[in-house]
Amino acid sequence: YLKISKLALAFAIIHSKPSGKSCKEYIEHLAKTVAEQDFRWKSKVEALEAEVLRLRQELLLNKICPRFCLEKDASAETLLDQERIKPVNYSSQLEDSGCDVSTDCTFDSLGIASDFHQSEHNVDSTEHWLERGPSLNLCCTSKEESLTAPLQFLQHLLEIRKLAEGGILQADFAELENDSFSICHSVSQLLDGLTFFYKSPKFPVPNCLTEAVCVLSSLITDSKLSNHVLKKCFKKLEEFNKNLIQIMLRNSNVNRFQALYALSDTLILLGKNNILRNSLISLLLSEVHQFAEQLLQAHQIQAMYNITQYENIFPLCMILEQLLKNETEESNISSSDYDGEEKINFLKNLDEIILYLSDEFPLFSLCLWRMSVLLNSTQIQ
């Protein structure tokens, strides 16, 4: 039947072919016409899907808190005015290599970390400009603009959470269980937008990118919202972490240090959550251990090794060490509370690797030793 249909289509095309065109030209013309129609329909479908998601987000917010955005509460506005997030000033950002020789925060060359530290404690309370409608047209590309809708929805969610915690509004977050699609899809869009930016970052960093990372950090550290987000989006967050790690390792741009610092800060913020931290530690241990073995093999046979990857491995070591220290400080016991399979693989033959690499690669060997001390702190104590 399929062969007969193709033959019939071929005869129909031949019989309807204009006299001034060859069969090949006519077929290419028809194919182009059909492709244009498909593109238009695809655009319409995407626009309708985005509108459906927006309506579902509004409906979910209304179910969680019917008063939100419908009534003007004077006390709520007063609270939001008091805790308004300060605008970000990027005038001092330069398109340089990101090498900072000062003793200040390393990430300040990007302009992100300082904003994270300033808004870390009050990012849950978003500005009341959210009630005035879309106003985040700060990005340049369509991919970055796609962050606006999920970012506003998640900021609304955090704002309701803050107001409910202060006793200003009554909210029922159990409704998140009944509509997992809205929050899961919104977080997924946010992660895709961030991944797109980190693959080809622009400086100065758009405001919405900074806010997106802050919102993501707040979601996974919030006592009520964290469980909902992690339960429905854990695989997506884990995939996001994997993508960021690979982007860091493969980045070969000359002026890549600003981007690496931004990626490092994002991963450390995500590692504040205990569940994500263990998953992230496993990923980092696996990558560092794999590179250490490759470097040892290249050293033993006097072969060439990937210099770019060697340079990029140090931010990963810094992230891993910071996460292990955070776990130590929070548990008040030791960072060996993390006892995954990757820890066993990492420590296996590590002393031998350090011994062979210490002369040729002393800095990397020192990083490996510091991480081994953190992982073995219980036995040492």
Question: Which pair of structure tokens corresponds to residue 379?
Answer: 């036995």
Q: For the chain, list the strands marked E by DSSP.
A: none
What average pLDDT does this structure show over 327-344? 65
Please name the residue that has the structure tokens 């491995």.
Answer: 313
Tell whether 21 is covered by a domain.
Answer: no
Tell whether 100 is covered by a domain.
Answer: no
Is there a single domain that holds both residue 249 and residue 283? Answer: no
Residue 5 has pLDDT above 90, yes or no: yes
CA distance 207 to 189: 17
Is there a single domain that holds both residue 281 and residue 257? Answer: no
Predicted local distance difference test score (pLDDT) of residue 69: 52
- The residue with greater pLDDT, 121 or 153, is 153
Tell whether 60 is covered by a domain.
Answer: no
Is there a single domain that holds both residue 370 and residue 285? Answer: yes
* Helix 225-250 and helix 307-331, axial crossing angle in degrees, nearest 10: 150
Tell whether 222 is covered by a domain.
Answer: yes
Tell whether 49 is covered by a domain.
Answer: no
Tell whether 364 is covered by a domain.
Answer: yes
Could you tell me what percent of the chain has a pLDDT over 70? 75
Is there a single domain that holds both residue 267 and residue 287? Answer: no
From the list 225, 216, 227, 256, the residue with the least C-alpha distance to 99 is: 256
pLDDT in tens, 30-49: 889 888 888 888 888 888 88
- The residue with greater pLDDT, 25 or 132, is 25
Predicted local distance difference test score (pLDDT) of residue 102: 40
Q: How confident is the model at residue 175 (pLDDT cuts 50, 70, 90)?
A: confident
- What is the H or E stretch that residue 228 is in? helix 225-250
Domain membership of residue 344 as a residue range:
275-330+337-380
Query: Looking at the 3D structure of the chain, how many domains does it have?
Result: 2
Predicted local distance difference test score (pLDDT) of residue 242: 93
Predicted local distance difference test score (pLDDT) of residue 331: 61
Tell whether 78 is covered by a domain.
Answer: no
What average pLDDT does this structure show over 63-68? 78
Predicted local distance difference test score (pLDDT) of residue 127: 36
The reply to whether the predicted model has a pTM over 0.95 is no
